[in-house]
Amino acid sequence: MKDEKSMDSIWFDRLQNSLYLTAADQTAIAQHILSILDPSEEKIPLPQELQGDRSPRIVFFSASDTKTAAQVVWGTGLGIEKAIANAITQIQLLFPENAPQWFKIDIVQEALSVQRRNSRHPLKLDRSLYGLAFDEASKIAFLPEELVAQTLIDRQQRLLPKKIIAYLENHPDRLRTYHQLLESTQITLYRFSSTSFFCNSKKLVSLYRGHRVLNPQKMTPDLLLEGAIAAWRYLQQTMGGEGEFLYHYNPQNNKVGKNYNILHHTGTLYALLELYEETREEELLETILNGISYLLQFVQPCPKPGIGTCIVEEGWIKLGGNALAAIALSKYTQLTNDKPYIPLILELGKRLQSLQQENGEFISHKQSYPEGKILDFVSDIYPGEAIFALLCLYRLTEDSMWLESAENGVRYLLAKQTKSKKPIPPDPWLLWSLNQLFRDRNNPEYYDFVMSGIKAIARGQNLQTSYLDWLGGIYQPPRSLATARRMTALCSACDLAIYAQNPAIVQQLLTTLQLGIAFQLQTQFYPESVFYFADPQRILGAFHHSLTDFEIRIDCLQYNILSLLGLYRIFNIWDKQ
């Protein structure tokens, strides 16, 4: 890196005015930078209006070879052109042979100076939207993405000195200065905002909070399918040798969760089978078969006096475990016409039927194995999964016994729901079941029940918000999994409305779905949102917990894949109407 002392003496307290950039300006800057980084290209100058800028500027330049964490430099100068040139000079020293394949530009817009007696008190401005710099002598500054990805500031907005020290290890001068700052009685901090955009030499993306912001009205079937495929690729590359998924991973601290959940494993298999139905990709089928091999390790005969076969994990049998195994294996059989699992599917179904009472209620949601002790635990989701499993068995065997059991289960849930006067739960499995039963039985009660619950399922969706990227998400702050579960359920409702030829409801649901799924895609790791982590390729394509919480868990991927595919299919059906 260029000697820091030779950089122009411009720091955040010298910024006089902002330089707001249009999309055309950003494109011009990216083309200008690319032409300088590639010696074989003819240099492309900046537009005249940008060349004429003479105000003090600070430009951050983050660059990566796509395999390692981004290296961050900043350039300063009187005018945007000089600041960019200063930053590029430093980047060329870091990448002497090949130009970086990914790079991001942050042009500082506004800065706020804060005098502090110490750095232990919480800061005022959101760590994910505002960068942090210390005084000019320190030459220490961090972008918002560094603060969050490296957890240099915690969720309570407090600086974490140990994390900062570890992050500055490769910069001895700055590290030494930071130790001195920790001992200071008073320090100067700057919080700054910036205009950000990312380029991978092929595509330019404007950023907000370090990620792209999608226009809900411009989503296409191709974009949705690409998102689902990228999520599968993440699952494929992190799958273990026995066919297990990487259940839980936090790239912020590189920690892998020790627990596993066979229900989420099986639900993820089902999501991948739905994706396989669209792509017929052989590599994807291989991933699915590996996952099925892992699932089969959990198959055990049910404890007496029960009948059928159970899925047992760590000494427990769950109603949902049996149901999801039957659903996934039925889907596999349907798609491939490969029939070795049919006996097992039937045994899993027998177990489900044995737990259903005459009134349709499913009992024994959780039972110890092999003792057979039944816990008081009751799940809101397991009955919907069990009903959908029975419908899968009906599709597989054409035996009406399974259809009657499924309908009995639905009647019980609907009566219970009506009596309690509670809103319909955002349960995709129940709505899928009602969707299928309406087609099989042509009972308007099922259709009316689904349509009466639409508003309740979408309740909590952010339709007016101060933050651009909260729009469409569920809860505040919005979360990826919660949004994906609800959008998956509403995809089924929308599909049912199309079948029933109710265009007004379809249009209403499409608006909700496009908003929700546009939010979800902001929680997927694209190149621009991975390259501040140590191993960018490891997490590319995964969906993470929220906009600022990067924990990855497979159930989050499961429901994001299902909701993306749901809207993908709706687009394809609706366009043909």
Helices 480-499, 428-441: axis angle to 10 degrees equals 10
Structural element, H or E, at residue 439: helix 428-441
Q: What string of DSSP letters covers 137-177?
A: GGT-EE-HHHHHHTTSB-TTS-B-HHHHHHHTTT-HHHHHH
For 182, counting Cβ atoms within 10 Å of its Cβ (0-12 exposed, 13-18 middle, 19+ buried), the class is middle
DSSP annotation of 210 reads T
Task: Kindly state whether residue 325 falls inside one of the protein's structural domains.
Answer: no
Task: Kindly state whether residue 506 falls inside one of the protein's structural domains.
Answer: no
The CA-based angle 226-230-232, given to 5 degrees, is 120
Task: Kindly state whether residue 98 falls inside one of the protein's structural domains.
Answer: yes
Asked if 227 and 518 touch (Cβ cutoff 8 Å), the reply is: no
Task: Kindly state whether residue 145 falls inside one of the protein's structural domains.
Answer: yes
Asked if 493 and 457 touch (Cβ cutoff 8 Å), the reply is: yes
Task: Kindly state whether residue 14 falls inside one of the protein's structural domains.
Answer: yes
> In 3D, which of 355, 225, 337 has the Cα closest to residue 285?
337
Alpha-carbon span 11 to 77, nearest angstrom? 10
pLDDT tens for the chain, residues 1 to 577: 444 444 457 889 888 788 889 999 999 999 999 899 888 888 999 999 999 999 999 999 999 999 999 999 999 999 999 999 999 999 999 998 888 899 999 999 999 988 776 667 888 899 999 999 998 889 999 999 999 999 999 999 999 999 999 999 989 999 999 999 988 888 889 999 999 999 987 789 999 999 999 999 999 999 999 999 999 999 999 999 999 999 999 999 999 999 999 999 999 999 999 999 999 999 999 999 999 999 999 999 998 777 899 999 999 999 999 999 999 999 999 999 999 999 999 999 999 999 999 999 999 999 999 999 999 999 999 999 999 999 999 999 999 999 999 999 999 999 998 888 887 888 999 999 999 999 999 999 999 999 999 999 999 899 999 999 999 999 999 999 999 999 999 999 999 999 999 999 999 999 999 999 999 999 999 999 999 999 999 999 999 999 999 999 999 999 999 999 999 999 999 877 7
| Token pair recorded at residue 512 | 């909700």
Give the residue carrying structure tokens 């918002």: 144
Give the residue carrying structure tokens 């039927």: 353
CB neighbours of residue 61 within 10 Å: 24
CA 489 from chain center: how many Å? 17
Both ends of the chain: CA-CA distance in Å?
Answer: 60
Tell me the CB-side half-sphere exposure of residue 265, using CA atoms within 13 A: 28
| Strand spans (E) along 36-134 | 56-64, 71-78, 102-116, 131-133
pLDDT value at residue 5: 42
Burial of 90-125, coded b for 16+ CB within 10 Å and e otherwise, reads bbbeebeeebbbbbbbbbbbebeeeeeeebeeebeb
Asked if 563 and 510 touch (Cβ cutoff 8 Å), the reply is: no
Our CA dihedral for 84, 100, 525, 536, rounded to 10 degrees, sits at -130
DSSP annotation of 64 reads E
SS3 342: helix
| Token pair recorded at residue 446 | 């099922």
DSSP annotation of 248 reads E
Task: Kindly state whether residue 50 falls inside one of the protein's structural domains.
Answer: yes
> In 3D, which of 522, 478, 545 has the Cα closest to residue 249?
545
> In 3D, which of 192, 211, 220 has the Cα closest to residue 57?
192
- Provide the number of structural domains found in the chain: 1
Burial of 268-278, coded b for 16+ CB within 10 Å and e otherwise, reads bbbbbbbbbeb
DSSP annotation of 254 reads T
Task: Kindly state whether residue 93 falls inside one of the protein's structural domains.
Answer: yes
CB neighbours of residue 30 within 10 Å: 20
Alpha-carbon span 181 to 49, nearest angstrom? 40
Helices 262-279, 319-336: axis angle to 10 degrees equals 20
Sequence length of the chain is 577
Task: Kindly state whether residue 450 falls inside one of the protein's structural domains.
Answer: no
Q: Which domain holds residue 180?
A: 4-208
Give the residue carrying structure tokens 């001895």: 172
